[in-house]
Amino acid sequence: MSNTYFQFKEFIINQERCSMKVTTDASLFGAWVASLQINATQVLDIGAGTGLLSLMVAQKNDATVEAVEIDRSCYEQLNENIRLSPWNNRCNAVNQDIREYESDKSFELIISNPPFFERQLTSPSHGVNLARHEEGLSFTSLFSQAKRLLLKEGYFFVLIPSSRKDETIQLAQEVDLFPHFIVEVKQSPMHDPFRYMIGFNATLIKTSSEVITIRNAKNEYSSRFTELLKDYYLFL
C-alpha cells in the first residue's frame, strides 16, 4: 500500500486521494525547474495532481502559482496540500479541464508532468487512466494549450518518458516551441535514460544539454541529485 503522505522539509504532500503518488523523477523535475530561477511572476501547473510541482516551484520562487487539475477528488487533495503549505497566499488550485481553462493573464512559466502511457494497457480505475494515460489530454492538446497560455517570452517544461523524446520535440515545433533545456535522466550510470526533462521557448537557439543520474555507481544519491533535492528531501 502506498504511503498516504510524503513529508518534505518545508511542506507535506497528502496523496491518498490522488492516483499518481510522489515519485523520485517528478521530485527531481520539480527541483530542477525551480533551480533554473526563471524570472516568472505567474506560473501555471497543468495537471497539478497532488501539487508537488507547484509547491516545489513556490518554495524557490516568489511567483503566483495556478495549479489546474481535472479530477475532482485529486483537486480536493491538491487544495488541501496548498492550504497547509507556507505559500497558500500565492498558490491557487483550480478544478477544471485545461482545454476549458481561461485566464486574463499569460504565464512566464508553465510546468507539466503529463500523462505518459498512450497506446499501453489502461487501468480499470478512471482516475489512474486520467493521470497516467492520454485518455483526458493528448500530448498534442497539451502543447496547444501551453502555447495558448504561455507568454511570448515564457518557458514550458515537461517531464516525459525517454521513448517519447523525439515525438515531444516534434509536437512542440508544430506550435513554434523549441527545446532550450534537455536533461537526460538515468537511474544510475549503468542504466539507459528513462526520463527526459525538457524546457521549451518560442526562440530557436542552441539547446543546453545535461545528464543527471539519480544514483551513482555506489548506489548512493548522486552529487547532482543531492544538490537539487537537498532543500526538499528530509534526509539530504
* Residue pLDDT, tens place only, 124-168: 443 433 333 334 468 899 999 999 999 999 999 999 999 999 999
Tell me the sheet residues that pair with 107.
150
Most distant CA atoms of the chain, gap in Å: 50
**65 within 8 A of 92, measured Cβ to Cβ:** yes
Domain boundaries 5-229, CATH class = alpha beta
Judged by DSSP in three states, 1 sits in coil
Reported pTM: 0.90
What are the extents of the domains in the chain? 5-229
List, for residues 163-196, the tens digit of each pLDDT value.
999 999 999 999 999 999 999 999 999 999 999 9
Closest CA to 129 of 139, 140, 118: 118
Mean pLDDT of 41-45: 97
> From CA 200, how far away is CA 233, in angstroms rounded?
27
| DSSP code for 136 | S
Whole-angstrom distance between the N-terminal and C-terminal Cα of the chain?
A: 25
Q: Per-residue confidence at 19, pLDDT binned at 50, 70, 90? A: confident
